[in-house]
Amino acid sequence: AQSVAQPEDQVNVAEGNPLTVKCTYSVSGNPYLFWYVQYPNRGLQFLLKYITGDNLVKGSYGFEAEFNKSQTSFHLKKPSALVSDSALYFCAGRMNYGGATNKLIFGTGTLLAVQP
Amino acid sequence: AAGVIQSPRHLIKEKRETATLKCYPIPRHDTVYWYQQGPGQDPQFLISFYEKMQSDKGSIPDRFSAQQFSDYHSELNMSSLELGDSALYFCASSYRLAGSGETQYFGPGTRLLVL
């Protein structure tokens, strides 16, 4: 079965420090992987995605993620955290076979708390 | 840039009532997805439509139905509402013809509370 896992319910980091939010996947074939951010009472906002090509993907607001096929991981990173980055982060994936279903499978979310 | 529009944003219903949620995709997007996010949970896929045809079905109760109209907007109809249906319902849209790496863009969600 396809699945996406976020092993940490919460990540705490001080402002200005680098942050990492972890994600691992179990998706058939070569997956498409996404990161979304959700602020309180808001919708899911797209940050970045991996389809193919360079393993390091750059996205919005200074975020980047590294696709590691051997470790089946797609960790989200940012060199210097901001208090405004505090939010709920979801990793999502889907299969890459061009079929009728492109539904996203979400991880359980990681709450990022950046302390000033 | 235009985003996905969902209405209403908030909805309060009583048990056994019906509800209709509406979704207006980003212009020129041809695919609509519906997800349900329970309190403290990750979004769960319900159903999707591509070019007005149902393309996939997830964990959607038989009490729910949905369709996509000729103008590509979609409606999620929910009948015989139960307390457990209280959740945030997201609609997402994408442009499938853009390639297999399509990005789903989410609306702000409709928060449904069933009393």
Question: pLDDT tens for residues A87-112?
Answer: 999 999 987 655 556 889 999 999 99
pLDDT in tens, A7-62: 999 999 999 999 999 999 987 777 889 999 999 878 899 999 998 888 999 999 99
pLDDT in tens, B18-69: 999 999 999 999 899 999 999 989 999 999 999 899 988 998 999 999 999 9
Provide, as residue numbers in chain B, all residues whose Cβ is less than 8 Å from the Cβ of A2: none
Provide, as residue numbers in chain A, all residues whose Cβ is less than 8 Å from the Cβ of B31: 102
Contact A104 B50 (CB under 8 A): no
The rounded Cα B66 to chain-centroid distance in angstroms is: 8
pLDDT of A82 reads 97
Which domains, and CATH codes, for chain B?
5-114 (2.60.40.10)
Integer Rg of chain A from CA: 14
Provide, as residue numbers in chain B, all residues whose Cβ is less than 8 Å from the Cβ of A52: 101
pLDDT of A75 reads 98
pLDDT of A95 reads 72
Q: What's the pLDDT band for B113 if we cut at 50, 70, 90?
A: very high
Which residue of chain B comes nearest to A111, CA vs CA? B40
pLDDT in tens, A64-73: 999 999 999 9
Question: In CATH, what class is A3-115?
Answer: mainly beta
Q: H/E element holding A13?
A: strand A10-14
Q: H/E element holding A59?
A: none
Provide, as residue numbers in chain A, all residues whose Cβ is less than 8 Å from the Cβ of B90: 43-44
Residue B95 at interface with chain A, using a CB cutoff of 8 Å:
no
Please give the sequence-ordered ranges of beta strands (E in DSSP) within chain B, or none if there are none.
5-7, 10-13, 19-24, 31-37, 44-50, 53-57, 64-68, 74-78, 87-94, 105-106, 110-114
- Best residue in B104, B110, B111, B112 to probe A by mutation, most A CBs within 10 Å? B104
The rounded Cα B44 to chain-centroid distance in angstroms is: 11
The DSSP output letter for B59 is S
Find all residues with CB under 8 Å of A53, minimum gap 6, and list them.
none
Residue A77 at interface with chain B, using a CB cutoff of 8 Å:
no
In chain B, which among 17-46 make CB contacts under 8 A with chain A?
31, 33, 35, 41-45
Q: Residue B93: what residue type?
A: S
